[in-house]
A and B are shown apart, each in its own frame.
Chain A
């Protein structure tokens, strides 16, 4: 196909010189323990990038003309150099959109953020009521998030975002989420719940049912102003495509830098299968993005596999790689939430013994609530010389 005639979506699937949408998780430290946490966050990793290493990542992003970076965690505001890093990024024309649980977003910090250009804030809630939210994010987390929103509003921050992971329990509250956003002049952002991180354990009971997904699709179609991070493209198989690129951007236009500098194909696949390299290696992030074998293979034409005979493959592209991987489904087959039910059939037929299993990652407790022992670092003591 001549270069000029190639549709843009196909260009994107072959990868760009630099990511469009880069997520950078600054720390695995978190003061909450959400049951669906995609990165199984909790404990700070002792190998976390130092402030100097983090600034070097920003230098690379600026050189690659990455226009903005999505910062998350863990709770990014727990990083002691959080504001310094934000200012460093903005000074280098790398805009920042960061996600926070709001617990550290005091009135004073809200005023500091309001004074910065090119910084967008999104506050996470997973229920429009404290009870719905706190059952996922922990007791008191709804009140803390609302206080953070109040602080941003009082500081005249301008339009911030309210970010919701859609679950079986909160999907009935979409209009209430809209109302909360409207009351602050904020933008609502809904994203798909993937079975990643601690979500492996909770996905079965919390992911929206097939009926709920159809309702969500129609709700979104009527509200193009609601942001989705292009995350519901598997629903586009229901008919008219949802707003967005409608493709899996993993390793093509999207990737993740984790707190220790590991680069993964997307934020939802923190697993060695999808590890492309580390920013500390020679050539840094740039070399990983442009030369990693994994990203090279993702930019090759992908097999539609079991979906090849489905008339909707062009619309949904077989759905989300992460959702398939962590539910033990083949990557070249239907999404577990395939709108035609092919995913449910595949889930019933899978070999449960071959599941990737729960990733405890940096969790502080396991799924029974038992504290996970912290590995003791080996220390070499030098005896003081007399």
Chain B
């Protein structure tokens, strides 16, 4: 099976924070002073992760049972809603996928 087929099969319709997520296998991250660059080798899209917290969160997702648990562990309470929205955007652009 090709990588593309796997990706299509695994891709949920919406971002479900109760699932376990991970950095998409075709995505590479490069640390920068503002956060990180994310490049998707499949879609050829370059995206910017605009804070260090977001980079840490994204890179740690697969160590938690769910995205919600990862957010609770790594993000201050007042900012959790904002980071949940950021993860939803990254799911749409396939920087992260449900594992």
Contact = CB atoms under 8 A, between A and B. Distances in A.
A3 B28 contact: no
B34 A3 contact: yes
Interface in B23-51: 28, 30-34, 37, 39, 41, 44, 46, 48, 50-51
A20 B46 contact: yes
A8 B32 contact: no
B44 A120 contact: yes
Interface of A: 3-4, 6, 8, 11, 16-18, 20, 65, 67-68, 93, 95, 117-118, 120
Contacts of A20: 37, 46
Given A4-B51, A17-B32, A65-B30, 18 more contacts: A8-B34, A11-B32, A11-B34, A17-B30, A17-B33, A18-B30, A20-B46, A65-B28, A67-B28, A67-B39, A67-B41, A68-B39, A93-B41, A95-B41, A95-B44, A117-B41, A118-B41, A120-B44
Contacts of B39: 67-68
Interface of B: 28, 30-34, 37, 39, 41, 44, 46, 48, 50-51
Closest 4 CB pairs of A and B: A67-B39, A65-B30, A11-B34, A16-B32
A4 B37 CA distance: 15
* Interface SS of chain A: loop
A181 to B, nearest CB: 17
A11 B44 CA distance: 22
A65 B46 CA distance: 13
A227 B95 CA distance: 22
A65 B32 CA distance: 11
A118 B41 CA distance: 7
B96 to A, nearest CB: 17
Contacts of A16: 32-33, 37
A369 B32 CA distance: 49
B44 A3 contact: no
B30 A8 contact: no
28 contacts: A3-B33, A3-B34, A4-B51, A6-B34, A8-B34, A8-B50, A11-B33, A11-B34, A16-B32, A16-B33, A17-B30, A17-B33, A18-B30, A65-B28, A65-B30, A67-B28, A67-B30, A67-B37, A67-B39, A67-B41, A67-B46, A68-B39, A68-B44, A93-B28, A93-B41, A95-B44, A117-B41, A120-B44
